[in-house]
Chain A
Amino acid sequence: MTTKKTVKTDPGGAAGEAARTAGGAARDAAAKERRSLLHEMLRIRRFEERCVELYSAAEIRGFMHLYIGEEAVAAGVMPELGPEDAVVTTYREHGHALARGIPAEAIMAEMFGRSTGCSRGRGGSMHLFDAATRFYGGNAIVAGGLPLAVGLALADRMRGADRVTACFLGDGAAAEGEFHECLNLAALWRLPVLFVCENNQYAMGTALAREHAETDLALRASSYGLVAWAVDGMDALAVSAAARRAAEAVRWGGGPHFLEMRTYRYRAHSMYDPDRYRTKAEIEEWRRHDPIDALAARLRADGDLGGDDLAAMDKEIAAEIDGAVKAARKAPLEPVADLTRFVYSERAVRP
């Protein structure tokens, strides 16, 4: 890995070790959890690989930002949230949406701009929304989701609900004013926000060190009085352990927490990006720490993943994605007569 600073592995990562050495039911449960983590990462990757094909075939259009390489973050964080918790995220959010439990079919239909999409086709790749899972987007303005997360958490705080708002952001957001305004406000009011910063090393095409005077984002966050630490974002077990510890602390009144997930995207910033700002060698170096390969190897070594298990997972995932694509192709488009719906609430009576 080429991160400048040493990545501190969260001490909670030791939980995995403990589980491994524990016997019986606890060990089985831990193994199941880890297999499910692997499954989710694979599912996100395969979903996006299919999206690339569909984009090339012009079935998906618009801006599309892929998460490939970063899967450990979404897959590791989401299971640590409860159904009542809220999620606010960025335009690179297919992985978050899938891991949060929005059906693949609804996400794929959204990419196709169909009325069965999770935003009725009005949002597309960058604007996935889902009230049922409290998924508040899908924000395509860098750092634009942070104030929303602060507000959602404020509402929970004022009503005494022990809910967490998970707010995903990229390293680029740390250069925006809203990053500073919101970390300050969240810390000042001790709001239950879990900031999950996906530091994939590039803000669009600009490397971290080219845009930040101080590249240690956890350090910067901690200057606002938040609990903040860096996590190896290519290690799904480390992500999961850190998220568990932070989410619990946030939920029980420990104030906002900030996790800097040090990760990497293998693909370009968006489908339009010729990716001229980094070397192939750099990408290859990160690929050697691929989160899916790493977890699969670990599970195999522990005897928790058999020879054919990964292939079976892949087959099951392919069937799910095939189904989603077929359904999206067949799904109806919104009638043009409904073009102006939802600009204002349909509960409102307008002159």
Chain B
Amino acid sequence: MTTTRTAPGAPAAGANGGITYREAMRAALREALAKDERVFLMGEDVGRYGGCFAVSLGLLEEFGPERIRDTPLSESAFVGAGIGAALAGMRPIVEIMTVNFSLLALDQILNNAATLSHMSGGQFGVPLVIRMTTGAGRQLAAQHSHSLEGWYTHIPGLRIVAPATLEDARGMLWTALADPDPVLIFEHGSLYTLSGELPPGAGAVDIDRAAVRRPGSDVSLITYGGTLHKTLEAAGRLASEGVEAEVLDLRSLRPLDDATIMDSVRRTHRAVVVDEAWRSGSLSAEISARVTEQVFYELDAPVARVCGVEIPIPYPRHLEEAAVPQPDDVVAAAHRVVSGDA
């Protein structure tokens, strides 16, 4: 059960006087703890250490050890304890350092959190929030870098969200806490230092709907989480090359917002799914299938996918970069579907 924990180092200060994704997430936690006394945060190093990724830094001093609760390295026990506490009416937020470690708690997440409501005939609900990081990009090698959120989207009874922007980092937690069912929040590790301005009134956001982050008419680039910003960069380059790409941020991975996806494809007639996870049996496969099922006759080209290379993520930077989608890959795929060479 012991896995190497990598120290994250000090939190990056909000560059340019703005706020970081990490700080937005912390503000959301602080608000949740202040607003509802049933809320508590539990996980590995969330207290004295300040959070494995420094998200919960300072919260222990503010809210005390009862509500900012350091746990042993016992993923199954503390995730399951979160489920039990939620069953009893609390609103736990459980932090797992990375999705890789969540596999040690998979039994509790799948066999209990996701099933108790149905199996009890609706008598019990599990209003639990589980936060964890996902994704590559920090040279942490194969046991700390995978994108397994797509696996979790397979499971009925769970709700899966992926905040990719500062607004969503600030707002999704509260919406997740208000949900009577278990919600898993996947935070891509490369996003914590993302910085920008957040409107002063930023708060709860709708987590049911995908968002069009950039409108366009030639191709729909469908993505979420860590690859959103790479995809936006690709869209900028495509525009300078004469291709207007629409960028869709899924935000909610389960349930998928079919309506927004299909509306976009109906406008552009072409789709590229960008997903850092492996292609085989993936969320990108699901999205591609749904597009084919629902708007096949609107398509001018087969749906294309830009996914992670099917290898365990390697350590050296050049190999890691080559293993996951980069803006170049997205640009190339978009050109292929637009030119009909797909």
Chain A residues near B (Cβ < 8 Å)? 86, 88, 117-123, 127, 129-131, 136-139, 141, 144, 146-156, 158, 177-178, 181-182, 184-185, 188, 341-348, 350-351
The chain A residue sitting closest to B123, CB to CB, is A131
Are A147 and B83 interface neighbours, CB within 8 A? yes
The answer, among A120, A154, A177, A182, for a CB contact under 8 Å with B122, is A120
Given A119-B120, A144-B111, A345-B117: A185 and B87 interface contact (C-beta under 8 Å): no
Are A345 and B125 interface neighbours, CB within 8 A? yes
Q: Provide the bound-state CA to CA distance between A152 and B83, in Å.
A: 8
Q: Does B103 contact A (CB under 8 A)?
A: no
Tell me the residues in window 103-122 of chain B with beta carbons closer than 8 Å to chain A beta carbons.
Answer: 107-108, 111-112, 116-122
Are B89 and A155 interface neighbours, CB within 8 A? yes
Given A139-B112, A150-B77, A152-B84: A341 and B180 interface contact (C-beta under 8 Å): no
Are A147 and B77 interface neighbours, CB within 8 A? yes
* A343: B residues at CB distance < 8 A: 117-118, 156-157
Q: Does B88 contact A (CB under 8 A)?
A: yes
Known A-B contacts: A149-B84, A345-B125. Give 8 more (CB < 8 A). Answer: A120-B121, A129-B119, A131-B124, A144-B108, A147-B77, A181-B1, A342-B117, A350-B208
Tell me the residues in window 40-82 of chain B with beta carbons closer than 8 Å to chain A beta carbons.
Answer: 40, 66, 71-72, 74, 76-82
* B87: A residues at CB distance < 8 A: 136, 148, 151-152, 155
Q: Provide the bound-state CA to CA distance between A152 and B92, in Å.
A: 12
* A141: B residues at CB distance < 8 A: 107, 111
Chain B residues near A (Cβ < 8 Å)? 1, 40, 66, 71-72, 74, 76-90, 92, 107-108, 111-112, 116-125, 156-157, 159, 179-181, 208-209, 255, 257, 259
Are B90 and A158 interface neighbours, CB within 8 A? yes
Can you list 22 A-B pairs with a CB-CB distance of less than 8 A? A129-B119, A136-B84, A139-B112, A141-B111, A144-B80, A150-B84, A151-B81, A151-B82, A151-B83, A152-B84, A154-B81, A158-B66, A181-B1, A181-B76, A188-B72, A341-B122, A342-B122, A343-B118, A344-B157, A345-B122, A345-B125, A345-B180
Given A147-B83, A148-B83, A188-B72: A342 and B118 interface contact (C-beta under 8 Å): yes
* A127: B residues at CB distance < 8 A: 119-120
Are B80 and A122 interface neighbours, CB within 8 A? no
The chain A residue sitting closest to B42, CB to CB, is A154
Q: Provide the bound-state CA to CA distance between A347 and B117, in Å.
A: 12
* A119: B residues at CB distance < 8 A: 119-121, 123
Are A155 and B90 interface neighbours, CB within 8 A? yes
Are B179 and A348 interface neighbours, CB within 8 A? yes
Are A122 and B209 interface neighbours, CB within 8 A? no
* A123: B residues at CB distance < 8 A: 119-121
